[in-house]
Structure 1
Amino acid sequence: MKSVLLLLAVVGAALFSVASADASNAQKQHDVNYLLWKVNENLRDETHKTYAKTFDPEADTSHYSDNGEAVHRLMKELKDHRLLEQKHWFSLFNERQREEALMLFDVFMHCKDWETIVKNAAFFRERMNEGEFVYAVYAGAIHHPLAEHVVLPPLYEVTPHMFTIDTEVIQEAYAAKMRQTPTKIKSSFTGTARNKEQRVAYFGEDIGMNTHHVFWHLEFPFWWRDSYSHKLDRKGENFFWVHNQLAVRFDAERISNYLEPVQELHWEKPIHDGFAPHTSYKYGGAFPSRPDDIHFEDVDGVARVRDMVIYESRIRDAIAHGYIIKEDGTHIDIMNEHGIDVLGDVIESSLYSPNVQYYGALHNTAHIMLGSSNRSHHGKYNMPPGVMEHFETATRDPGFFRLHKYMDNIFREHKDSLPSYSFEDLDFKGVEVTNVAIDGKLETYFEDFEYSLINAVDDTEDIPDVDIDTYVPRLNHKEFSYNIDIKNDKGADTLATVRIYIWPHKDNNGVEFSFDDARWQAIELDRFWVKLSAGDNHIVRKSTDSSVTVSDVPSFKTLMEKTEAALSSGGDLDLHEFESAVGVPNRFLLPKGNENGVEFDLYVCVTDGEKDAAIPDIHTKEEFMHYGSHGVYPDKRPHGYPFDRHVEDERIFEQVTNFHHTMVKIYNHGEHIHHHD
C-alpha cells in the first residue's frame, strides 16, 4: 500500500530524491491516465505520441539505475521478434507472458526520473501486448517511489472485458457506439435462479471484490524479488490472511442466503460446481466453461494431479514436524508466530519460498489446474485460459472459494499445532472494556453501481466518444458507529490497540458453532490505535473509518477531469484517499444478513499498543494498513490475533477484562436503490 509507511521502506529512496521534483503529481497522474486510456487503440496524448515515435530507450543509459541492463534485455527480445503480439489475451499464469510483462516492469523500476518512465511507457505501449503493458504499468505505479501519489484508474474501466459479466452487454455497447447514442446498459450476474450458487454471485462477481483481489496480488506479487527495490514485510502471512478473510466473508454471505459453508476441494474428488462465465476476452474468444462434477486432470507441461497430492502431504508433514526444510537441507522452525509467514510463502509459492523444488507451488499451480479443467483434451481445441487464470476474474468461480477453503484448512492445521494463548498472553492489566454499543442499524441493501464501457469498444479518433455505461447491483450497508467505553486504571495515558471482529453465531441449519470453530471464521471489521487517558474513555468509531476497507476509486472520466483541472490551474491534485486499493471494498464491510436478521458474535479486543505497534506514533497515522503496506507492517501481532490459535477453554476470553463480547444482528430488507433513469 502506498502510504506514510513508504518512508520507512524505500531503500533506494536516495537514488530518486533529486529527480523526484521533475514532475508535479498532476502531471504524473495525467501521464498515467493517458497511457492507460483506450489501451487497445493509438495513444491520444501528443507528447506521448512523439515519444513513441522518436524515443530510443537504449540511447542514454545514465537515466537508469542499472546502467540500462533491463532495457537492453527487453529491446533484444523486441528486435528478435520474440514478444507476444498485440491483440492477444494475456495471463499472468502463463510463464512466458509473465516474463515479458516483468521485463517491462523491470525497466520502469530502474528509471531514475519520471520523464524516462513515461518515454519508455509510450514507446513500449505501441510495441508490446496490451495486457502485458497494463500489468507492467499497474505494478510499476504501485512499487516505484516516483509514482507514490498516482491513483490508478479503476481496472474495470481500463479492461472492461475482464469485469463485465455478460458478453451481450459488450455487444450492446458496440451498437450504442455505432448509433452514437449515449446509453446505460443493465448488467446482471451469471447463472439463473435454478442454480443456488447464484444467491451469492453478488459477492464473487463484485467488481470491487475483483479489484481488491487483483490489487492485493500486485502489492504482494508471487514473482517479487527484493532486488526490485525492497523486502515485502510478512508477505507469506499476508497471503494467508487476505485469502482467509475472503473465504470467511464468503461463508458469512452463504449463511445469510441459507446456504451451507463452502466445501474444500479435493484432488481425488470431482469439482462439484461447474461454472459458465458468459464472458469473452477482448481478443481470443470466450472464457471456457466448466461442467459440473468434472475431475481434476493433469495439465501438460504444468503439473500432474498426483504431484499436487505429494506437495500437499509434504507441507502437512512440515506442519506436523514443526519445521520447513530449506534447499540446503537446514531447517526453519515454524512452531512460533512467524511460522505462518514461511508457510504462506511455501503454499502460494512465491519466490520467497525456501524450497520450491520440494514443496512445489500449491496455490499457483491449483489456479492453473482449475482454469484448465475446462480446457481439457490437452490443448486440442486451443482454448484461451479460464477465469481462474486471472486474478481479475478468479473470485467469480465458486471453485475459487473451494480452493481457498482447502488452503485455509492447511493453515489452520499449522495454527492449531501452536500452543494456545494463556491468560497472560491475552490480559492487558488495568484496562477494562465496560460497554460496547452500536449506534445505527446493522442493515445492508443493494444499490446500482455505474461504470463506463468506453474502453470496451473499438474506436477511431475521427468520431467523438459517447457515454456508454453499464450498471450493476452491489451490496452496501447503512453507516453505523461503535460506542466503546474503556476504563484505564493504569493511572497514566496508555496506548491501546482496538481490534473488532464478528463471526456467524449459527450455521445455515441453525446449529450454534463451537467457540473453537467460530473463531476461525472471524471477520476483521477494524483495527486501530488510540491513546487512553487515565480513568474513563468513551470512543466513537465510525464504520466509514475502518482500516480494512477502501473507497471505490473515482471513475476514469472523473480522474481525468480532476487531473486536467489541476494542470490548467496549476493547483494541487489531492487524491490521497484513493492511493491504496488493497483493502476490501468499503461497501462490503458487513455481510449481507437477511430479512430475519443473522446473528453474529461481536468481539472488541483491546490490547497493549506499546507491545503491538511496529512503528512509532502509530495512533497519529491516518492512512495505514488495508491488509498490508510498503515497509514495516504496522502491527507486531499475528493476523487474526487473539483468535488465530486453537482455544482449549473459551472461558479465558470471558475472564480477561480487556475483551468484550456482545451479540448483534445484521438485516437485509430486500431494499434496492436505483440511481438512474
Structure 2
Amino acid sequence: MTVKEKQARLLPLFEKLTALTHERIPEDQLDPRLKGLAHLPRGTLFSCFHEEHLEEATHLYEILFGAKDFEDFMILAKQAHDLVNEGLFVYAISVAILHREDCHGVVIPPIEEIFPDRFVSAETINHAVKEAANHPDKDIVVKSEETGNILDEEYKLAYFREDVGANAHHWHWHIVYPATWKPLVMKQTKDRKGELFYYMHQQMCARYDCERLSIGLQRMIPFHNFEEPLEGYAPHLTSLVSGLNYASRPEGFSLRDLKDVDVQEMIRWRERILEGIHLGYVIDSTGTHIPLDKDHGADILGALIESSYESKNAGFYGSLHNWGHVMMARVHDPDGRFQENPGVMSDTSTSIRDPIFYRYHRFVDNIFQDFKLSLNPYTKEELDFPGIEVVNVTVTAKVPNLVTTYLKEAELELHHGIDFGTTHSVKAAYKHLDHEPFAYNISVENKTGGVKTATVRIFLAPKHDELGNLLEPDDQRRLAIELDKFVYELAAGKNVIAHDHRDSSVTVSKIYTFSQIQAGEGVHEDGSESCSCGWPEHMLLPRGNFKGMEFHLFVILTDHDQDAVEGATTKGSCADAFSYCGVKDHKYPDSKAMGFPFDRHIVNHDIHGFLPSNASVTEVKIKFTG
C-alpha cells in the first residue's frame, strides 16, 4: 500500500470531530484491546496536562502504536474514533502516526483545521454558521472578530498570543514529546527531552518579552506566589465539542485546591526542586543521589518539573508544570460545582493565548535559571574557536541591517472541522505578523591554514529595556531568541557566509492544509515527513516598532568537531526545526547546552568584553510598518 493510499484512509478520521455523537460501540463488537477505555466522556475538554486524561490517552496511543500492521492499526483507529473522547482521540492517534514505521510519510492534518473552534473566536464561528446557512450554495469567507479592547494592555499583544501558527506549534511539540513517553514501549528514546522542554518554553518567554518591549510595555512580572491574585482573561472561545465556552478568569482570583492536587503540594514540590538544585543533586525513588551536572542537569530537571515519565522521583518532586496548567484552568470553578469548562490553560493548542501562560513559564524558567547559576560562567576557552575571526555581519534586506514587519492577511478553512451543512468552503480571514525576506551575510577569516567546520549560531536580543536604558548583558541573555543554527565549512583564508532566513533551524518549513494533503501534497513515498513542529516562519522576528527598534544580532562560530554528536543528523525527517523540536528518531544534533552561549550567567558588564573574536555583535533595527 502506498503512503498516499494510507493518507487517504486516515484523513476521514480527522474530519467533523466537533459533530460526533455520544453513541457507544456495543461491547460485543469492540476489539478486546480497546476495552477499559472511554473513561473520559465525549463532549469533555481533554487536557494532556491532567493526569487521568493523559493516562487514558497514553493507554490508547500505546495500543495504536502496537498494532501488528497498518490494517490492524486502521481497525483499532476506526473503533477508537467511535469510542473515546474527541480531543483524546486526536492526541493519541497523532502520537501513534508520528511514530509508527508504517506511517512514515503520512502527514497529520493541521490541528487548526481539525478543531478550528480552538483557534477562532466564538463570535467569528457564529458569524460563519449564519453565513453558511444563508448561502449554502456559495463559498464563504468571514472576517475574524477581534477580542478585547484597549482597556486591557494585554490586548495589544493579541496578535502574538492568538497567532494560529504559534498555538499549533505548541500543540505539535507536545505530541512529538509526550510527557508519558516510555522508551521501552515505544522502542525509541527521546534524546534530551527534558532539556528541550526547558529550552523551547524559555524561548517562548523570551519572544513574548521581546514583543512586550516592541509595543512599549514592561517585561512581564513572573508568577511567583501561589496565593497571588491573578489578572483576568477572557478567551472568547467556545468548544463545539462540549457546547460550553472556554472559561474566563475574573480579575483577582488565585489558585485553589483541586480534588486531585492542592496548593500546598505545589509549594512543597517547588521547595524540594529548589533544594535539590542548591544541594547539587536530586534523590531518585530508591534514595540514590543523582547529580545535577552541567551535561545532564537541565535534562533531569526538565523531566522532574514537567513531570514526565523520565522523572527520577515523581512521588517526591511531583508534577509542578502540568498541575500548574490544570490549576490555572480551574481557578474559576476549582471543585467543579458549576460544571464549567476549564480555561484555555488546560490545552496545549489554546494555552499560549492566556497571558498567565508566559508568567507561569517564566516562573518555571526561573527554577532552571537557579540551576544555571550553580554552573560557572563560560570561560574564554569554552567560547573560543582559535584561528577563526568573525570580521563583519550584515543583515541584507531592502535596507541593510533594517528589517520591516507588517500584518498580513491569511485565511483558515473551517469546514473540515465544523459541520456547516454545506459542501462549500467556509473560511475565517485573519491577520498575522510577518516580515520582509532577509538574509545573513557573515564575513569570516579562517587563519588556521586549513579547512575548518563551524557551527554558526545566530541570536537576537533587544538593546534597551522598557525605560530606554542599555540592558546589562546578563539581563539581555534572558531575552536572546535563537534565530538559526547551521553547519558551514570554512576554507582557509577569507569566507563569506550567505544564509537565508527561510532556512532557519527554529521554524517549520511548511504546514500543509487539509485540502493540500487530500490532493497528495506533502505526502512522500520515501518515508520523509513533516511533524509540523516548529515556530512559524512568519513569527521568526519580533514586531519592532514604528520608529525602528534597536536589537543586537549575535553571531558566534564554534568548532563543529567539538559540537558534533555521534549518530546525529539534521537531514532526517522532521528535522527542519531541530533547535526547538530535535530530530525525530535521532539524537539532538549539538553537544553544547541549548541556548549556548546565553544559557549561563554573564559576569561582564560589556557585551563586547564577553564575546571572543569568533563572535560578533551587530546593531540592527526592526521597523513595524503597520
TM-score range, shorter chain: over 0.9
The answer as to whether partners of 2:113 and 2:514 remain within 8 angstroms in 1 is: yes
For 1:9-40, what per-residue CA distance to the aligned partner results, in whole angstroms no more than 9, with x for missing partners? xxxxxxxxxxxxxx212112212222212234
Letter in 2 for 1:297: R
**CA shift in 2, pair 1:306/1:619, >3 Å:** closer
Select which of 622, 641, 644 maps to 2:599. Answer: 644
* Structure 1 position 39 matched with structure 2 position 6: no
The answer as to whether partners of 1:503 and 1:518 remain within 8 angstroms in 2 is: yes
* Counterpart Cα distance in 2 of 1:527 and 1:435: 18
* Counterpart Cα distance in 2 of 1:545 and 1:592: 20
**CA shift in 2, pair 1:644/1:457, >3 Å:** closer
TM-score in terms of structure 1 length: 0.86
For 1:337-379, what per-residue CA distance to the aligned partner results, in whole angstroms no more than 9, with x for missing partners? 3211101111111111101111111101110111011224x21
**CA shift in 2, pair 1:621/1:445, >3 Å:** same
* Counterpart Cα distance in 2 of 1:418 and 1:213: 29
How far the C-alpha of 1:552 sits from its partner, in A, is: 4.7
* Counterpart Cα distance in 1 of 2:170 and 2:87: 17
SS at match of 1:262: coil
SS at match of 2:217: coil
The answer as to whether partners of 2:416 and 2:514 remain within 8 angstroms in 1 is: no
* Counterpart Cα distance in 2 of 1:439 and 1:549: 19
Partner of 1:513: 471
Select which of 472, 479, 488 maps to 1:530. Answer: 488
Partner of 1:63: none
How far the C-alpha of 1:619 sits from its partner, in A, is: 7.7
* Counterpart Cα distance in 1 of 2:69 and 2:491: 47
* Structure 1 position 629 matched with structure 2 position 583: yes
Paired residues in the alignment total: 610
* Counterpart Cα distance in 1 of 2:604 and 2:50: 48
The answer as to whether partners of 2:129 and 2:420 remain within 8 angstroms in 1 is: no
SS at match of 1:547: coil
Partner of 1:305: 263
* Counterpart Cα distance in 1 of 2:609 and 2:571: 29
* Structure 1 position 358 matched with structure 2 position 316: yes
* Counterpart Cα distance in 2 of 1:89 and 1:325: 35
Partner of 2:191: 233
The answer as to whether partners of 1:346 and 1:359 remain within 8 angstroms in 2 is: yes
* Structure 1 position 458 matched with structure 2 position 419: yes
Letter in 2 for 1:201: A
* Counterpart Cα distance in 2 of 1:57 and 1:633: 41
Select which of 287, 292, 308 maps to 2:246. Answer: 287
SS at match of 2:198: helix
1:53-132 matches, within 5 Å, as 58=31, 72-75=32-35, 77=36, 83-132=39-88
**CA shift in 2, pair 1:491/1:158, >3 Å:** same
**CA shift in 2, pair 1:326/1:573, >3 Å:** closer
Letter in 1 for 2:413: S
The answer as to whether partners of 2:272 and 2:317 remain within 8 angstroms in 1 is: yes
* Counterpart Cα distance in 2 of 1:522 and 1:183: 42
How far the C-alpha of 1:621 sits from its partner, in A, is: 7.0
Letter in 1 for 2:115: T
**CA shift in 2, pair 1:543/1:583, >3 Å:** same
* Structure 1 position 183 matched with structure 2 position 183: no
**CA shift in 2, pair 1:523/1:637, >3 Å:** same
The answer as to whether partners of 1:189 and 1:205 remain within 8 angstroms in 2 is: no
**CA shift in 2, pair 1:337/1:275, >3 Å:** same
Letter in 2 for 1:288: A
**CA shift in 2, pair 1:535/1:643, >3 Å:** same
* Counterpart Cα distance in 2 of 1:591 and 1:198: 17
1:548-559 matches, within 5 Å, as 548-559=506-517
**CA shift in 2, pair 1:98/1:336, >3 Å:** closer
For 1:471-512, what per-residue CA distance to the aligned partner results, in whole angstroms no more than 9, with x for missing partners? 111011101000011111222221110000011111121121
Letter in 1 for 2:591: K
For 1:38-75, what per-residue CA distance to the aligned partner results, in whole angstroms no more than 9, with x for missing partners? 234579xxxxxxxx99x9775xxxxxxxxxxxxx4422
Partner of 1:412: 369
The answer as to whether partners of 1:208 and 1:552 remain within 8 angstroms in 2 is: no
1:263-342 matches, within 5 Å, as 263-284=221-242, 285-299=244-258, 301-342=259-300
* Counterpart Cα distance in 2 of 1:160 and 1:498: 38
Which sits farther off after the overlay, 513-522 or 170-179? 170-179
Select which of 463, 485, 504 maps to 1:546. Answer: 504
The answer as to whether partners of 2:211 and 2:544 remain within 8 angstroms in 1 is: yes
* Structure 1 position 579 matched with structure 2 position 530: yes
* Counterpart Cα distance in 2 of 1:574 and 1:210: 29
Partner of 2:448: 490
Partner of 1:193: 150
SS at match of 2:486: strand
Partner of 2:90: 134
**CA shift in 2, pair 1:575/1:608, >3 Å:** same
SS at match of 1:455: coil
Partner of 1:448: 409
**Runs of 5+ unmatched residues, structure 1:** 1-22, 44-51, 59-71, 567-571, 671-677
The answer as to whether partners of 1:582 and 1:626 remain within 8 angstroms in 2 is: no
SS at match of 1:252: helix
For 1:410-443, what per-residue CA distance to the aligned partner results, in whole angstroms no more than 9, with x for missing partners? 1111101101111111111111111111110411
SS at match of 2:545: coil
* Counterpart Cα distance in 2 of 1:518 and 1:173: 44
For 1:240-271, what per-residue CA distance to the aligned partner results, in whole angstroms no more than 9, with x for missing partners? 00000000000000000100111111334434
SS at match of 1:156: helix
The answer as to whether partners of 1:493 and 1:532 remain within 8 angstroms in 2 is: yes
SS at match of 1:540: strand
The answer as to whether partners of 1:275 and 1:292 remain within 8 angstroms in 2 is: yes
How far the C-alpha of 1:558 sits from its partner, in A, is: 1.9
- What percent of counterpart residues are identical? 35
Partner of 2:109: 153
The answer as to whether partners of 2:414 and 2:427 remain within 8 angstroms in 1 is: yes
* Counterpart Cα distance in 1 of 2:100 and 2:324: 30
* Structure 1 position 472 matched with structure 2 position 425: no
* Structure 1 position 656 matched with structure 2 position 612: yes
Select which of 162, 181, 184 maps to 1:205. Answer: 162
SS at match of 1:185: strand
The answer as to whether partners of 1:296 and 1:369 remain within 8 angstroms in 2 is: yes
Letter in 2 for 1:629: V
Partner of 1:66: none
**CA shift in 2, pair 1:38/1:574, >3 Å:** farther
SS at match of 1:448: strand
Letter in 1 for 2:130: A
**CA shift in 2, pair 1:575/1:195, >3 Å:** farther
SS at match of 1:379: coil
Partner of 1:67: none
Which sits farther off after the overlay, 592-601 or 247-256? 592-601
**CA shift in 2, pair 1:130/1:251, >3 Å:** same
SS at match of 1:255: helix
* Counterpart Cα distance in 2 of 1:24 and 1:57: 28
* Counterpart Cα distance in 2 of 1:550 and 1:561: 21
Select which of 395, 404, 408 maps to 2:352. Answer: 395
Letter in 1 for 2:621: K
* Counterpart Cα distance in 2 of 1:654 and 1:309: 37
SS at match of 1:584: coil
**Runs of 5+ unmatched residues, structure 2:** none
Which sits farther off after the overlay, 104-113 or 631-640? 104-113
* Counterpart Cα distance in 1 of 2:494 and 2:539: 33
